[in-house]
Structure 1
Amino acid sequence: MRRGVSPGFTLIEIMLVVGLVGIIAAAALAPLVFTIRSLEEAQRRWGSSHNTAAAVDRIYSDIRRVIPNPSFSTFKIIHKSGFSTEADDRLVMWSAAPKYEGKNVGVVVYKIVTKGVLNNAKPGLYRWVLANVPSKSTVSGDISGRSASEPESPMDVNTDELDPKVAKLMLADAVGVKFYVWQGNKWAQEYDGKLPNLLKTEIITKEGTYSHTERFPNAAEK
């Protein structure tokens, strides 16, 4: 007597089952993939925000160490807008911050550097420490032998000629920076004088704009 033979599965049936399993697996994994990508994006944005906050903290740390000088102004904002940046303000200050880096008291400068034909530096917000800037105001006696183009004070720095190679990159994501001083009843982007009572900083990155405002209660003494 012959036993019955099981017909089994055809190739088409197997392919249909495999395809169905694949569809179910894809549907089940889609939320997980979306969650992972969302976490990666959040982590990237948090990292960018954290780096920006750290750069701002460093700026204001240098500002808190601004020291008075009877011969020249100790705090300056140079407002500029270029074709390659949304905002190209420059911050120049006479600060004791370099002393904490093993240098002399000197000028600290912040500005945006953009990549150009003659500049291969990485774009971003840079910090310069100019601890030995010559000036006429620091020389007593005859200055007739000094160059007429020499700055009147250490604060008269030509920020357009600063070399990024001797500076520190503070924030690679920065594409622009704005500084505002509160004067009277409005914000001003041009300033040259003592440490102001109130300063607002805006750093523009690819992720957005980070803003920080701080008051300096001892500004009148500086």
Structure 2
Amino acid sequence: MDGPPIREQPLFGGAIAAAIPQGWVDGSNLRQVPDHQELFLSSTTLSSLIFEINEFVAHEQAVTVSSTAQGAALLSSFPSSTLPSPAAEDVVAALYHVHDLCDETEGDTIEMVSPPEPVTLPRLTQQPVRAYAGSVRFRSLRKRRPGQPQPQAQGGMEVDQQAGANGVAGGPRSTYSCRFLVIRLPEQTTDICVYVNVPFDEYEERGDEAGLAAEEALATALLAKIVELFEVKDWGLFG
């Protein structure tokens, strides 16, 4: 695969190990990042990588994802979303986190690309852990990009003249893919979420299909490497 090598990276003061591409920069050196997040930014593109430590999504929270149009659409793409088993409940909890990135009041839309599938974390076997990976595609108003701590300037936005389903007027819109990994730690009542975001606009603006394909391939390889290397080195991080 062309692109920067992917290396192991300590997170949250060394309590967790994961991976980032060589040359990506720590977002906290450029902007304020919440304590429960780690943000890394490509130095050559608008792609980004976010790690988040979140509260464990319980059954009662998970089912609320169906209360909005976009959430219902996500669940319809996964036939087991009626929560007949703990595994299905985990999947819906993963979708809950992903759906939380989508602001329907701003006209954001979300499309399932790859439904959450269970993955094994080879370095995380001593604790009860369940992990799921998948991908979605977002379209949002130009002024913000879901999942990013702060919006970044982008060019070449496609103009959508239609109003969204919730009545929000159309306008310049941005599209980006999001590969996600949700790691469920029930004994720590914690969900760790990982998002690899690839904005399309910078490539579409210059008609660079090959560049977009290469960046998408990097995102896929990056998530796979995070699955391979993810490790909790200090469980005291979770209290």
User: Which of the five TM-score ranges fits, normalised by the shorter chain?
Assistant: under 0.3
Relative contact order, CA 8 A, sep 6+: which one is greater?
2
* Larger gyration radius, structure 1 or structure 2: 1
When the two structures are superposed, what TM-score results if normalisation uses the length of structure 1? 0.25
Identify the structure with the greater strand proportion. Answer: 2
TM-score for both structures, normalised by structure 2: 0.23
